[in-house]
């Protein structure tokens, strides 16, 4: 079956790792027709915006997109394109699997964690007020708290509706993928009216899935647990900010962001992308690890119902890492981005899979 997929190469290192992923997907014999659309720096030059409406409409029409990383200016300029896409298309669930591969030196072998992050609320909703603004003065009056001089304010909305959707997504994922436990992560001991809602909803949803073990953890304790005994955890479900932080921590446990794929999923469409950023200082040098992008494409194939092709891609990555000849600098090697993509494609095309891989 042919699938039409929107492709956003992105900027920085995006085009290089996207090209590697395309080669691997082709080798897995998935029938994909790519519809290439601009986003990021290229789009600003041509359209005056980092995310043209035509690009959004392409994703909405095709319902699936593979996206390279896009640069977000720090402290100024446009807000994150990633956040914009998630809000515009209501991609409420961010899915970030983190598993260790044989051949990567890590403190805890055999890690297989999945982070499920709420994507639309929390401080990432972008409700902020500048220092000395009228809004800050009004908020001071309402809260009866005298804010320090030159104080900016960020508001953290957490709703029952969004919490219910993300918690249910996590438990449904656990059922579908034969996972055993879901852990809800929060700071409800301090933020009783926001994280308190999230925790309350988590417990109510968990009660509907008695076959899945459930528990909750305070977020600061969760970070300690993950660096001491990550093998005790399976699926983690978290509000937006905690999910962003914890997913990077989990990526570090399995070898870094170069091995961390991701997906943003809604009821109507999904966008697949690596967890890492655009690393503009490395752009054009053909040295960045493309595996996170390649694994994101495997997640995309699985979402499209191409489970055999998805499995080939993951096995190809596993075999490449195990043989250790074509690894980029972050994994202790000197291979180029293109060489990694070419070798994984070759492994898949020739069926050079070790019998015990995965």
Q: What is the mean pLDDT of residues 306-332?
A: 95
Does 276 lie in the same domain as 309? yes
Active site residue 187: yes
What Å distances lie between residue 118 and 90, 158, 161, 190, CA to CA? 11, 10, 11, 20
The pLDDT assigned to 168 comes to 98
CATH number of the domain where residue 216 is located: 3.40.50.2300
- Please pick, among 244, 302, 312, 336, the residue that the annotation labels catalytic: 244
Judge whether 244 counts as a catalytic residue: yes
* Residue 242 annotated in active site: no
Catalytic residue among 23, 87, 187, 315: 187
Rg of the chain's alpha carbons, rounded to an integer?
21
Alpha carbon distance 152, 131 (integer Å):
4
Using the 3D structure, point to which of 253, 279, 296 is the last residue of a domain: 253
pLDDT tens digits for 330-349? 999 999 999 999 999 999 99
- 102 domain residue, yes or no: no
Number of domains in the chain: 3
Whether residue 130 lies inside any domain: the answer is yes
Q: Residues in the chain, how many?
A: 358
220 is catalytic: yes
Q: pLDDT-based confidence at 75, cuts 50/70/90?
A: very low
**Are 293 and 339 in a shared domain?**
yes
Gap between the terminal Cα atoms of the chain: 27
Supply the range of the domain harboring residue 233: 107-113+156-253
pTM score: 0.90
Question: Does 238 fall in a domain?
Answer: yes
Flag whether 37 is in a domain.
Answer: yes
Q: Which residue has the tokens 């000849």?
A: 325
The span from the CA of 18 to the CA of 47, in Å, is: 22
Reported as a pLDDT band with limits 50, 70 and 90, residue 45 is confident
Same domain as 277, residue 187: no
In a domain, 199, yes or no: yes
Name the catalytic one among 84, 124, 173, 242. Answer: 124
């Amino acid at each position: 079956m042919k699938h039409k997929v929107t492709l956003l190469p992105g900027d920085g290192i995006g085009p290089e790792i996207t090209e590697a992923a395309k080669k691997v997907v082709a080798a897995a014999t998935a029938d994909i027709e790519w519809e290439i659309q601009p986003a990021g720096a290229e789009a600003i030059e041509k359209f005056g915006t980092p995310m043209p409406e035509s690009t959004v409409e392409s994703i909405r029409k095709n319902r699936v997109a593979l996206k390279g990383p896009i640069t977000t200016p720090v402290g100024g300029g446009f807000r994150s394109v990633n956040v914009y896409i998630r809000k515009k298309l209501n991609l409420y669930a961010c899915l970030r699997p983190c598993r260790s591969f044989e051949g990567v030196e890590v403190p805890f072998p055999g890690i297989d964690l999945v982070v499920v992050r709420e994507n639309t609320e929390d401080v990432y909703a972008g409700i902020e007020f500048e220092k000395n603004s009228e809004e800050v003065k009004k908020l001071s009056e309402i809260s009866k708290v005298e804010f320090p001089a030159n104080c900016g304010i960020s508001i953290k909305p957490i709703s029952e509706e969004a919490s219910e959707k993300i918690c249910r997504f996590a438990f449904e994922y656990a059922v579908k993928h034969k996972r055993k436990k879901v852990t809800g992560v929060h700071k409800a001991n301090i933020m009783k009216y926001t994280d308190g809602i999230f925790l309350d909803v988590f417990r109510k949803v968990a009660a509907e899935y008695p076959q899945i073990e459930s528990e909750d953890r305070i977020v600061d304790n969760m970070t300690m647990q993950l660096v001491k005994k990550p093998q005790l955890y399976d699926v983690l479900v978290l509000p937006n900010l905690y999910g962003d932080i914890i997913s990077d921590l989990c990526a570090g446990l399995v070898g870094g962001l170069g091995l961390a794929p991701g997906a943003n999923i809604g009821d109507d469409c999904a966008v697949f992308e690596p967890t890492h950023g655009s690393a503009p200082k490395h752009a054009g040098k053909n040295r960045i690890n493309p595996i996170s992008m390649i694994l994101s494409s495997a997640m995309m194939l699985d979402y499209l119902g191409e489970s055999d092709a998805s499995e080939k891609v993951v096995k190809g990555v596993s075999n490449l890492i195990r043989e250790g000849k074509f690894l980029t600098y972050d994994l202790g090697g000197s291979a180029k981005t293109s060489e990694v993509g070419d070798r994984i494609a070759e492994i898949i095309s020739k069926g050079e899979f070790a019998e015990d891989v995965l």
